[in-house]
């Protein structure tokens, strides 16, 4: 079985970290082949690492004792994890990467955090490459809004209006962004193959939008979030379970 969670935003005041600890406890004795932390697990944009660590001692200790194979896919809010992995290199406890491919019972799955979809569809003229530089910088800055605008000025030759538009969009929480539904359109379209590097037989698992969904033929799924921010409670604490090659979108109560 493969278990996937994303967008815990540990460190952010609205993170449902207690629920996630209960979730880990519940799955502690279940046989899981892979536990995938699909990005935005830590919220370095909003919180210094010291605070994240002290506030989530139990979760971190639980993760370090789990026997499941853990994969950490970098999100935009924890992009810095890629630097940490580089610094500690072979000794790092998790496998850290931007993308991951896994098989389960003959079915193929492609995992990514999913900021790429938002950049491609709604944040032009930003490129994925620039957005990653920006995400790394945001993990190390204290003034989020100033950081966004400053970065756009420094790296893009665009008008004041474009800077304002992109800044305005990026400072909102994902579920409130005006064009976030476009991400869904791209995810379920044939465009996902050339634009996201998917192979024709691969199923897509991503997060980032904080809007959990699964399409009808169960080939594209969004893991949702563990942040207490959406208008409806039923959307909280979602995760994806893959067993016998089949994707299930679930909610932890």
Chain contacts with Mn ion (rule: CB under 5 A)? 40, 75-76, 208
Least spacing, CB of residue 83 vs Mn ion, in Å: 17
Q: Closer to Mn ion by CB, 104 or 208: give it.
A: 208
CA gap 127, 32 in Å, rounded: 36
- Between 27 and 80, CB nearer to Mn ion: 80
Question: Which of 76, 222 has the CB closer to Mn ion?
Answer: 76
Q: Is 19 helix (H, G, I), strand (E, B) or coil?
A: helix
9 vs 203, beta carbon nearer Mn ion: 9
Q: How far is the CB of 159 from Mn ion (least distance, A)?
A: 26
Contact 163, 149 (CB under 8 A): yes
Handedness of CA 132, 242, 102, 93 (dihedral sign): positive
- CA–CA gap between residue 174 and residue 40 (Å, rounded): 12
Nearest approach in angstroms of CB 40 to Mn ion is 4
Q: How far is CA 239 from the centre of its chain?
A: 12
CA distance 38 to 34: 12
Strand stretches in 50-180, DSSP E: 69-73, 95-97, 99-104, 107-112
CA separation (Å) from 146 to 17, 109, 116, 165, 220? Answer: 28, 38, 23, 14, 35
Nearest to Mn ion of 107, 136 (CB atom): 136
**Closer to Mn ion by Cβ: residue 27 or 121:** 121
Nearer to Mn ion among residue 32 and residue 180 (C-beta): 180
Find out whether 55 and 70 touch, Cβ atoms under 8 Å: no
Q: Point out the residue whose Cβ comes nearest to Mn ion.
A: 208
**Token couple for 31:** 């046989």
Structure tokens at 230: 């959406």
Token pair for 50: 């010291």
Give CA–CA dist 180/224, Å, rounded. Answer: 13
CB 135 to Mn ion: min, Å: 9
């Amino acid at each position: 079985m493969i278990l996937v969670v994303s967008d815990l935003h540990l460190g952010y005041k609205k993170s449902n970290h207690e629920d996630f600890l209960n979730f880990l406890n519940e799955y502690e004795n279940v046989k899981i082949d892979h536990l995938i932390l699909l990005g935005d697990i830590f919220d370095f944009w909003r919180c210094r690492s010291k605070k994240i660590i002290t506030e989530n001692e139990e979760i971190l200790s639980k993760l370090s004792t789990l026997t499941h194979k853990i994969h950490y896919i970098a999100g935009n809010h924890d992009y810095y994890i890629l630097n940490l992995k580089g610094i500690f290199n072979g000794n790092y406890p998790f496998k850290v990467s931007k993308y991951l491919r896994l098989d389960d019972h003959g079915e193929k799955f492609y995992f990514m955090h999913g900021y790429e979809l938002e950049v491609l569809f709604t944040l032009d003229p930003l490129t994925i490459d620039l957005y990653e530089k920006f995400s790394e910088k945001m993990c190390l800055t204290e003034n989020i809004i100033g950081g966004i605008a400053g970065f756009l000025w420094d790296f893009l030759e665009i008008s004041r209006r474009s800077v304002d538009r992109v800044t305005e969009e990026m400072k909102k929480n994902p579920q409130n962004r005006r064009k976030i539904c476009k991400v869904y359109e791209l995810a379920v379209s044939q465009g996902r193959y050339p634009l996201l590097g998917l192979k024709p037989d691969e199923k897509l698992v991503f997060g980032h939008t904080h809007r959990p969904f699964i399409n009808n033929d169960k080939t594209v799924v969004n893991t949702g979030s563990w942040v207490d921010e959406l208008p409806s409670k039923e959307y909280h604490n979602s995760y994806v379970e893959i067993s016998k090659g089949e994707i299930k979108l679930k909610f932890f109560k």
